[in-house]
Amino acid sequence: MRRLARIGRGASFAIVGAFFFAALAGPAFAPDPVGTLHLEFPYEPPSAAFPLGTGDNGIDLYSAILHGARLALVVGVWVVGISLLLGSAIGIAAGYYGGRVDHALMGFADMVQAIPAIVLNIAILAVVASPGLVHLVVALAANGWVVYARVARASTLSLRSSDFVAAARALGFSDARVLSRHVLPNVAGPLVVQATAGFGWTLLAESTLSFLGLGPGKETSWGALLDQGSAVLLRFPHVALVSGGAIALTVLGFNLAGDRLRDLLDPRSRRR
């Protein structure tokens, strides 16, 4: 079992690597460009011509998965990037200044979290006539920042009482200098760990929204493919198996990679 766990952790980086490769280079070597239909071969099971089979209107699933990886990467990078910046700024401010600032900022985070994640995302998308990529990113980042704020706050709180931060403040360094030179580098580790797993969660949220038919990625998102696959599940299960498998595997890969990174960055956590 322990060896299994080790293999799992090694595999996690392989999965993440494969995902990045598919997202960056995939669209270049995908057999079909986006939107290509093989109308005479709908819902073909996997074969030599179509390695993963075909879906609705004869779309080549192998190509679709590669294009979907690109979409997932773009959405993930933007959402995690914005959430990370916003969340760590808010969290560090809350942890460093404490008192009222802390109360106000974390109270706000609590309130945002009172609306279940997907429900808030959908409510934001509902205001736009035809949601595009930008709207999707905004909707996902609207509550995505909260978890980074919590991590950043917790780390900052423990740093604030540490000797080297106290020393830096006693030397009369400005808040900006203390924060950027002493606090930020030490908060970065946990945030990177969180962002790695967060990338997986973002992919899952994007897939879920697309699955529900709300996202912009009707042509390429893995979630949208899974939605099509669910509609023909009884006769052509391969569509749902392939697209859902891609989502599950990638999310799992990022989550395990996050765990592994935590072990590497913080050896103490391994002993628990």
**Residues contributing to the site for other proteins (CB under 8 A):** 1-2, 107, 110-120, 122-129, 204, 207-208, 211-214, 223, 226, 229-230, 233-234, 237, 240-241, 244-245, 247-248, 251-252, 255
The least distance separating other proteins from the CB of residue 270, rounded to whole angstroms, comes to: 13
User: Smaller CB distance to other proteins: residue 178 or 224?
Assistant: 224
CA distance 110 to 95: 15
The least distance separating other proteins from the CB of residue 211, rounded to whole angstroms, comes to: 5
In Å, how far from its chain's centre is CA 247?
11
Give the Å distances, CA to CA, from 261 to 188, 200, 267.
12, 14, 10
User: Smaller CB distance to other proteins: residue 179 or 214?
Assistant: 214
The least distance separating other proteins from the CB of residue 200, rounded to whole angstroms, comes to: 9
User: Smaller CB distance to other proteins: residue 117 or 154?
Assistant: 117
| Ramachandran angles phi, psi of 142, nearest 5° | -60, -35
CA distance 75 to 142: 14
Three-class secondary structure assignment of 178-193: HHHHHHHHHHHHHHHH
The least distance separating other proteins from the CB of residue 264, rounded to whole angstroms, comes to: 19
CA distance 42 to 6: 41
Dihedral sign computed on CA atoms, order 219, 221, 225, 231: negative
The least distance separating other proteins from the CB of residue 91, rounded to whole angstroms, comes to: 18
The least distance separating other proteins from the CB of residue 115, rounded to whole angstroms, comes to: 5
Give the Å distances, CA to CA, from 5 to 11, 149, 260, 265.
10, 30, 10, 18
